[in-house]
Amino acid sequence: MKRTLLFLFALTFSLMVFAVPDCPIVQKNGRDYYQYTIQKGDGLYAIGKKFGVSQVDLHNANPGLTEQIREGDKLLIPIKRKITRNSTPQTIHVVEDKQTPYSIAKIYNVPLDTLIRYNPSIRNGIIHTGDTLIISYEKVLTRSENDVRKSVDNVIEIPETIVVKERETLYSISKTYNVPMSTLLDLNPSAENGLKKGQTLRLKKSEVTVTDNVEPENQQADTSSVAVPAVHKRIEVKADPNALKIAYILPFTNGKTTESSFIEFYRGSLIALNQIKTKKLIDRDIEVWAWDTHGQKSVLDSILALEELEKVDVIVGPGFTVELEPVISYAKKHSIKIIVPFSSHIDKSLFFNKLYQFNPQQDWWWNVAIRRELSSHPADRYIIAHCGDNQKGSAFANKLVNILREQKKNYVQVDMTPENADSLIRVYSSGNTVLLIADNLSVDVRPILDVISEKHYNNLALWGFGKWGVATRRFSPTIYGSLFYDRADENYESQYRTLYTHRAVPSDIRFDLLGYDITTFIVNNDGPFLQSEMNFVKTDGRWLNTRIYRVMWNGFNLSVE
């Protein structure tokens, strides 16, 4: 749609500009720019955010610009303008250089299909600088109480799992249960290769959810009437005063479901004990005690009051952060070895020489992983791409930027979308380049991964997150740091199916394998481990697991260092 079409509308316009710091305005090649004096502590990414312009805009306005800017230097900032109509909720937008329908829809926070509906000329995704577009803000109608009640009545309750029927596809299941296909793929990685009749498909996570590390969320519920299910096939061991006594103190039930991550953990532990017993890897009997805290303080207190608990050799647990202080204090008082599998935040006042912390604090292991990567696999340039408001990804990016500054590495920060990903990579890649997409949620990054996976970039590596699941295999090479690396042991999977009559739930963190590895470590420090090798180092008076994998997808398989 050409600029002359504006005259078809009987409108009055007002000129609006971004609210920016007080800067002189200069002209260059017929275009207005702010002349900004760089302040102490400024970075290009922060300046771009301050003025509402992209990194590409800054580099186009300042040829030869690099991240090594100095206080007092002058920087040209292109003035971003938009034209709006006073009398109605519509806006007319004049397309600027390098803008796309997608980026314009993002600016005005309107759906892309709405933008296309009001501007038929861009149905093929092609617009030109100077074109004018109508932006329409549609009213949100208030529904009556009856309408709301009808919509609630029509909502399908989403089961945790379903059995795939004949001719069902991921798409049809996604529509039937209103579950995004990206979620289905994250929960069922094997489904990427198609579905089969009779296959069990997971539609949602278990009631107990987990963070990016391994600590399940705190949950409090009245579960005193719920018992741990018989699916815990306890291994029969001969009672013996000389036996190795292991106590699992975990919230197996939470009042909503008994199918929790903690039960998965315990299942894997029992398989490890069975193998240890069968292979005679220990010259003494093993006695297994398991107590369910129900996630309740009163229940936990009653467990810690049991006289027989004083006789155990090892405590495994607890499950929730709020349970740390009483359980660790008990172990410390009675000099009992305790392994904490989940929580990463343990108060230093609780540290003692028999405390083993599997899950290191996030900031600590990020620091280790980043410094090791920069040292062992240095790159010529690092592109830190922000594509949303994901806090975990942004926190990792900030950590990386601080270390890159400290080591005086060459880097640039950009806002990346599916529309501009290719152009940004081509503009900013230099020699061997690492691209970090600063978002640990696969649903956010999949559109960008779809774009860059179709391209062939020379000397580009993608830095990602294990939380992406199967999406880590969209681009080669992709690297990430993790406490976990599943070795897909067929013997173990067969034992799991035999004991529990179904397959283990696939996920980026297998809690059954974590239970297997923790229990294996108790008996044999050197493994063998199936998902998490452990290297405990005495730190601040307790033992901390320092084994962080460098996982890499090379286009054919995963490998670790």
pLDDT in tens, 171-184: 678 777 877 766 77
Q: 239-360+483-547 — its CATH code?
A: 3.40.50.2300
Q: Which amino acid is at 493?
A: E
Q: 78: closest CA among 102, 42, 52?
A: 52
Contact predicate 102/78, CB 8 Å: no
CATH code reported for the domain at 363-482: 3.40.50.2300
H-helix or E-strand spanning residue 153: helix 145-153
**Which candidate, 323, 315, 310, 360, places its Cα nearest to that of 339?**
315
Rounded CA-CA distance 289/148 in Å is: 50
Nearest by Cα to 550 from 458, 446, 463:
463
Q: What is the pLDDT averaged over residues 254-273?
A: 77
Q: Please give the single-letter amino acid code of residue 540.
A: D
Judge whether 493 and 503 are in contact, CB under 8 Å: yes
| Per-residue pLDDT at 519 exceeds 70 | yes
* pLDDT(1) > 70: no
Q: For residue 360, what are the CA distances in angstroms to 169, 328, 356, 368?
A: 40, 16, 10, 11
pLDDT at 12 over 80: no
Residue spans of beta strands (DSSP E) within 358-467: 381-386, 411-415, 433-437, 460-463
Q: Quote the longest CA-to-CA distance of the chain.
A: 94
CATH 3.10.350.10 location in the chain: 156-202
Rounded CA separation 322/324 (Å): 6
Q: Helix H segments across 78-123?
A: 101-108, 112-118
Q: Which of 331, 395, 386 is nearest to 357 (CA)?
A: 331
Q: What is the pLDDT of residues 405-453, one digit of tens each?
A: 999 999 998 888 888 989 899 989 889 999 999 888 777 788 888 888 8
pTM of the model: 0.64
pLDDT tens readout for residues 139-167: 333 333 343 334 334 445 677 788 888 87
- Look at residue 440 and give its three-state secondary structure: coil
Which residues sit opposite 31 in a β-bridge? 28
Residue ranges of alpha helices (H) inside 241-353 are 261-278, 297-304, 324-333
Instruction: Tell me what percent of the residues of the chain surpass a pLDDT of 90.
Output: 26
The better pLDDT of the pair 127, 363 is held by 363
Asked if residue 448 lies in contact with residue 387, where contact means CB atoms within 8 angstroms, the answer is yes
Reported as a single tens digit per residue, the pLDDT across 475-487 is 999 999 999 988 8
List, by residue range, all CATH 3.40.50.2300 domains of the chain.
239-360+483-547, 363-482
Tokens of 59: 């580099």
**Distance of alpha carbon 472 from alpha carbon 476, whole angstroms:** 9
User: Domain 156-202 class?
Assistant: alpha beta
Neighbours of 524 (CB within 10 A): 14
Q: How far is CA 64 from CA 69, 296, 428, in A?
A: 11, 62, 12
Lowest mean pLDDT among 24-28, 228-232, 282-286, 301-305: 228-232
- Specify the pLDDT at position 87: 36
